[in-house]
Structure 1
Amino acid sequence: MSLRKWFYLFWTTLLIGAGGAVIAGLALQIVNGGIQFKSTADFFLYALILLGYGALVSVYAQLGFFAYLILNYTGIGVFPRKAWRYIQLVLAVLALLELMFLRTFVSGDRSVGSDLTLGVAILLTALMVSWFKIRSTNASAWVPTFFFMTAITIVEIIGVLRIGVDSATVFILVPLIACNAFQILMLHRILKPASL
C-alpha cells in the first residue's frame, strides 16, 4: 500500500465516521427529544461537535482495522489457511454469543433485550457486508470479513458497553460500523495494483 492510497483511505474513512456520527447524534436527539436548541447557532455547534466526535471514532476504527490486518497476517503465517479460517469463524461466533448472552448472565442486572438486539444488529450488518465483499472479490473473503465485522467491532465497543447506556452504544456503534464496513469493502480496491 502506497502512502497516497493510505492517505485516501484515512480521509475518506474520517469523512464517513464524521457523517455517521452526525446522523446518529441527530437521530438520537429526535428519538429521545434531548437537547432543546435555543438558536440556530446552537444547532450548528452541536453538529460541529458531532463531526469532531465522528472523526475521533473513525481514527479509532482505523486503529482497529490495522490491528486486524496485522492479526490476519500473523494468523496466516502461524496456522494453515484453512485452520485460520475456522479459528476466525469460531472466535466471531464466541464474540457474538458473549455479547448477546454471557454479559447478561454474569452481571445479572442487565436486560437481555438490549444485548440481544445489539448482537443481532452486528450479526446482520456483518452478514450484509460479507455478502457485498464476496460479490466484489471471491468466496474466500467471507470468513475474514465476517470476523472483522463481528469480533473486531465487538472488541472496539467494549469500552462503551461497560457504560451500559443504550444511547451511548448506538452513538458509537453507527459511525464505527460505517467506518469498519467502508474499510473492509475498500481494501481490495486500494491494494489492487495500478494499471500500467
Structure 2
Amino acid sequence: MNSRNIVRLFMTTLLVGGVTAGIVGFIARWDQFAPLFTSFDLGEILSTFIWMFGVGLIFSVISQAGYFAYLTIHRFGLGIFKSVKLWNAVQIMLILFVLFDLVYLRFVTFADGEGIGSYLALALFLLVVGLVTAYVKMKQTNKQAFIPALFFMTVVTTLEWVPVLRVNNEEWLYFMLFPLLACNAYQLLILNKLIERSKLELESKRSEKQQAAKLGTKKKVKVK
C-alpha cells in the first residue's frame, strides 16, 4: 500500500472514531446531556460534541495501533506454526479464553449481588459483532480470512478496551467500546480496497512512465 493510501486510512479511521464517539457519548450519558437538547443550548451541545470527538480520536489511534500490531503478530504466527490451520486453531483457543475471562473475571471482580447476565450479554455482543464483521471480510476475500478477522474483532478489541474494563464504569464501557468496534471493523474491511487501489495507482504510474519514455525515444529519433 502506498503512502497516500496509508494516510487516507489513518485520517478516515480518525474520522470514524471521532464521529462514533461523539454520537455514542450523547447516548451513553443521555441522563446528563438531555437537558442540553431540551433547552436547545447549541453552544454547549457543540462544545460537548467536540470534546467527545477529541476523545474518539484517541480511541481511534489506539485502534490503529492495535490493528498494525495484529498484522505483525499474524505474520509471526504464520511463521512460527508453519500452518494456517494450526495458527487458526491457536487463535480460536485464544478467542474462547479471552471471552471466558471477559465474563468470569469481570463478574468475580465487580459483581455485587447481581447476576452474571449483563456480563455475559456484553461478551456475546462483542462476539456477534466479530462474527458479522468476519463474515463480511470472508465474503470480500476468502475463507481463510474468517478466523483472523474474528480474532482481531474479539481478542484485540478486548485488549484495547482493558483501561476502561479495569474501571468498570458503565458509561465509559460503551463510550469506548463502540468507537473501537467501528474503527476496527472499518480498518479490517477497507484495507483490501486500499491495497487494490494502491496497485492500480502503481500500474497507472508505470504505464505513464513507459509512455513518457516511448515519447522521449521518438523525439530523439526525429531529432537525429
How high is the TM-score relative to the length of structure 1? 0.92
Q: Are residues 166 and 70 of structure 1, via their aligned partners in 2, closer, same or farther at CA, if it must alter by over 3 Å?
A: same
Give the SS at the match of 2:131. helix
Among the aligned pairs, what percent are the same residue?
34
Rounded Cα–Cα distance in structure 2 between residues aligned with 1:110 and 1:53? 33
SS in 2 for 1:34: helix
**In 1, distance between residues paired with 2:4 and 2:99?**
36
Structure 2 unaligned runs (5+)? Answer: 204-224
| The one of 193, 199, 202 aligned to 1:194 | 199
Aligned pairs, how many? 194
Q: CA deviation at 1:49?
A: 0.5
Quote how far apart the aligned CAs of 1:191 are: 2.3
Q: Distance in 1 between matches of 2:86 and 2:156?
A: 19
Q: Give the counterpart letter for 1:166 in structure 2.
A: E
> Structure 1: any 5+ residue segments left out of the alignment?
none
For residue 42 of structure 2, the aligned residue among 21, 40, 43 is 40
Range with greater deviation from structure 2 (181-190 or 5-14) = 181-190
Q: Which amino acid is the alignment partner of residue 194 of structure 1?
A: K
Amino acid at match of 2:175: F
Superposed displacement of residue 150, structure 1: 0.4
Given the alignment, which residue of 131, 135, 138 partners 2:135?
A: 131
Aligned residue runs from structure 1 range 159-174, under 5 A? 159-174=163-178
Instruction: After TM superposition, give the deviation of residue 114 of structure 1 in Å.
Output: 2.8
Per the alignment, residue 29 of structure 1 pairs with: 29
Mapped partners of 2:56, 2:192: distance in 1: 24
Q: Which has the higher helix share?
A: 2
Q: Distance in 2 between matches of 1:191 and 1:82?
A: 25
1:110–1:126 Cα change, 3 Å? farther
Distance 2:143 2:111 in 1: 40
Q: Select 2:106's aligned residue among 103, 107, 119.
A: 103
Instruction: Give the aligned partner of residue 68 of structure 2.
Output: 66
Between Structure 1 and Structure 2, whose CA radius of gyration is higher?
2
